[in-house]
């Protein structure tokens, strides 16, 4: 046995355990308002507790973990949240890690059900995740949409902003709680937007937000993406991190192709990885995305008897399946997030191609 290698791995494991606990405490700090209170300036534990309206003894112990975990600094009896850290922990911005921590909390709540699938097979229905998420459903992408949807994602697609400004019929596939639909409807009042999702609770949230914003050019419908109507056709169809979650992604993609008007475009934002695990080694986002895929994407798809494609289906599989669906003209564009890319697909003649399947391991 290589004792040095064992010691290095032991140190890594300690770092993982520490990171897991700190992640839990970051979530606690988000939910209790401690980070927002700390961002106001240096404070003693008593002062910070008073700002947040919390019990000082618990706040003091939390701060001990924050300081020794190198999240806060300690200076002359006061606790300091550096500005460079605050931008990643506070505010309605895409860099705020809070919604991602909330997602991990939801996944932890559903973990026993996923664990049973290892021995019993099957999957975990989306409704179980929605129940665990509660009011945080859809929050993992909310700030990303707020900051990056219009200019960062849509703006990177050649010709798309002008098309939406002029007026187009748009469908957002797997829209979740509908925030992207409502933002697009606000930004492009001449276009009409429809959000489609299979989850009634998510659609209800999107409709409530639409009503509050008094948007007359947005609407929502509860429906299966595998049963898209081809008439009347859409000028633009979008899908944000949604296609790989579908029970029958090949049927969905073929339906998207057929539901587009001649010259229409499909804008698919999805994970930017290889279909082959060895090519993802060294990618700093890969292990996290494999884990989320295991804990959410695969079990929700398998719950409906689907293929269980998973978030890590990769570019090779995605391009193969898009070609098999009839998209002969596909460009892969950069997105504002390094872990995502944008597939720009124009409706064209069908192309005979067999999809490449991700590694089966």
Q: Residue 137: exposed, middle, or buried by beta-carbon count in 10 A (0-12, 13-18, 19+)? A: buried
pLDDT recorded at residue 361: 42
Question: Are the CB atoms for 40 and 90 separated by under 8 Å?
Answer: no
Instruction: Report residue 41: phi and psi, to 5°.
Output: 140, 170
pLDDT recorded at residue 112: 97
Return the CA Rg of the chain: 22
pLDDT recorded at residue 349: 43
pLDDT recorded at residue 137: 75
pLDDT recorded at residue 357: 41
- In whole angstroms, give the CA distance from residue 167 to residue 321: 30
- H/E element, 245: none
- In whole angstroms, give the CA distance from residue 290 to residue 294: 6
Per-residue pLDDT of the chain (361 residues; tens, 9 = 90+): 999 999 999 999 999 999 999 999 999 999 999 999 999 999 999 999 999 999 999 999 999 999 999 999 999 999 999 999 999 999 999 999 999 999 999 999 999 999 999 999 999 998 899 889 887 877 889 999 999 999 999 999 999 999 999 999 999 999 999 999 999 999 999 999 999 998 898 899 999 999 999 999 999 999 999 888 878 899 999 999 999 999 899 999 999 999 999 999 999 999 999 999 999 999 999 999 999 999 999 999 999 788 899 999 999 999 999 999 999 999 999 999 999 999 999 986 433 333 334 444 4
Cβ-Cβ contacts under 8 Å for 51 (sequence gap 6 or more): 37, 40, 43
């Amino acid at each position: 046995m290589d004792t040095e290698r064992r010691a290095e791995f032991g140190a890594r494991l300690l770092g993982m355990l520490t990171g897991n606990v700190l992640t839990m405490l970051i979530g606690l700090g988000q939910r209790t308002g401690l980070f927002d209170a700390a961002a106001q300036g240096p404070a003693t534990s008593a002062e910070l507790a008073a700002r947040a309206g919390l019990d000082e003894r618990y706040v003091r112990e939390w701060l001990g973990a924050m300081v020794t975990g190198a999240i806060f600094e300690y200076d002359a009896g006061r606790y300091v949240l550096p500005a460079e850290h605050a931008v990643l922990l506070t505010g309605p911005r895409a860099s705020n890690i809070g919604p991602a921590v909330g997602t991990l909390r939801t996944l932890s709540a559903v973990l026993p059900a996923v664990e049973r699938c290892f021995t019993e097979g099957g999957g975990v229905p989306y409704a179980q995740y929605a129940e665990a998420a509660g009011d945080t459903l859809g929050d993992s992408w909310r700030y990303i949409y707020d900051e990056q949807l219009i200019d960062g994602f849509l703006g990177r697609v050649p010709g798309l902003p002008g098309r939406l400004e002029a007026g187009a019929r748009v469908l957002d596939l797997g829209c979740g709680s509908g925030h992207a639909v409502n933002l697009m409807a606000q930004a492009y009042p001449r276009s009409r937007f429809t959000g489609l999702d299979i989850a009634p609770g998510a659609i209800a949230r999107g409709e409530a937000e639409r009503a509050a914003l008094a948007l007359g050019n947005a609407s929502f419908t509860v429906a299966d993406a595998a049963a898209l109507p081809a008439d009347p056709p859409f000028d633009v169809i979008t899908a944000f991190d949604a296609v790989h979650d579908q029970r029958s992604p090949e049927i969905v993609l073929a339906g998207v192709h057929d539901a587009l008007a001649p010259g229409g475009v499909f804008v698919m934002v999805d994970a930017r990885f290889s279909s082959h695990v060895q090519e993802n080694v060294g990618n700093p986002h890969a292990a996290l995305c494999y884990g989320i895929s295991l804990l959410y994407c695969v079990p929700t798809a398998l719950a409906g008897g689907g293929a269980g494609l998973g978030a890590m289906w990769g570019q090779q599989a995605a391009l193969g399946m898009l070609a098999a669906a009839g998209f002969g003209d596909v460009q892969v564009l950069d997105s504002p997030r390094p872990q995502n890319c944008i597939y720009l697909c124009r409706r064209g003649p069908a192309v005979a191609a067999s999809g490449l399947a991700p590694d089966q391991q």
